[in-house]
Amino acid sequence: MNLSCRGCVNTITKNLLNMDGVETAEVDLATDEVTILHSDAIEREAFVKKLFSLGYPEVNETNNLITKFKSKKSCIIGRISQ
């Protein structure tokens, strides 16, 4: 999933919490897992798309150079906004 540091965690958490209906978002660096508490109005696919757009694809998705670049960009932004 391209998770590497607290910058990644900050970026993912901030972006997920900005989605309507999301109550909590937790990222576990050790397991590369994201846990989201949300209203039933949000489909799983919306979270998958959001994470992919930030450069964090699901384990079974293609993780190409562009996706890795996006995750590094998100990581840097997350570090700056700490």
Q: Is 52 left (phi over 0), alpha (psi -120 to 50) or beta?
A: alpha
pTM of the model: 0.78
pLDDT score at 1: 62
21: left (phi over 0), alpha (psi -120 to 50) or beta: left
The CATH fold of domain 6-80 = Alpha-Beta Plaits (3.30.70)
pLDDT of residue 82: 61
Per-residue pLDDT of the chain (82 residues; tens, 9 = 90+): 678 888 889 999 999 999 999 999 999 988 889 999 998 888 999 999 999 888 888 877 666 667 776 777 776 777 777 6
